[in-house]
């Protein structure tokens, strides 16, 4: 069975510092991996995805994520945090089988401190 874990409920980072939001996954075979962001009272917005190819994926708002197959991780990163990055972040995974569904993690709340 496929699963995704976000080990941190909340991450606090000072503005201007680099940020990392962690995600690990479990899936049979190669995964499709996603990051979404949710601002208050809004739906989720797509940030980036990994399907195949380069392990470093670049997405919206200066975010990037690194796919690490040996560690089954897909951590979200940004070199310099902005206060406006404060939001709820979801990692998601899907296997390659036709019947596989996208599974979302429980979310990590990111606080960027001014």
Partner 1 sequence: DAGITQSPRHKVTETGTPVTLRCHQTENHRYMYWYRQDPGHGLRLIHYSYGVKDTDKGEVSDGYSVSRSKTEDFLLTLESATSSQTSVYFCAISDALTGTGGDGYTFGSGTRLTVV
The DSSP bridge pattern shows strands 73-78 and 19-21 to be: antiparallel
**Under rule CB under 8 A, residue 26 binds partner 1:** no
Among 16-24, 64-72, 74-82, 104-112, which window interacts with partner 1 (CB under 8 A)?
Answer: 104-112
Among 12-20, 38-46, 61-69, 72-80, which window interacts with partner 1 (CB under 8 A)?
Answer: 38-46
Q: Which is nearer to partner 1, 15 or 103 (CB)?
A: 103
8-state DSSP, 6: -
In terms of phi and psi (left: phi > 0; alpha: psi -120 to 50; beta: otherwise), the region of 107 is left
User: What are the φ and ψ backbone dihedral angles of 102, each rounded to 5 degrees?
Assistant: -75, 125
Q: What residue ranges bind partner 1 (CB under 8 A)?
A: 32, 34, 36, 41-46, 49, 51, 90, 94, 98, 101-102, 104-107
């Amino acid at each position: 069975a496929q699963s995704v874990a976000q080990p941190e409920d909340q991450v606090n980072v000072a503005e201007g510092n680099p940020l990392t939001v962690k995600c690990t996954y479990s899936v049979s075979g190669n995964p499709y991996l996603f990051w979404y962001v949710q601002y208050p009272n809004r739906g989720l917005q797509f940030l980036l995805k990994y399907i195949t190819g380069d392990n470093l994926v670049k997405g919206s708002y200066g975010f990037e994520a690194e796919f690490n197959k040996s560690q089954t991780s897909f951590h979200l990163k940004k070199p310099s945090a902005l206060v406006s990055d404060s939001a709820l972040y979801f990692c998601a995974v899907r296997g390659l089988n036709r019947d596989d569904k996208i599974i979302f993690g429980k979310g990590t709340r990111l606080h960027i401190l001014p």
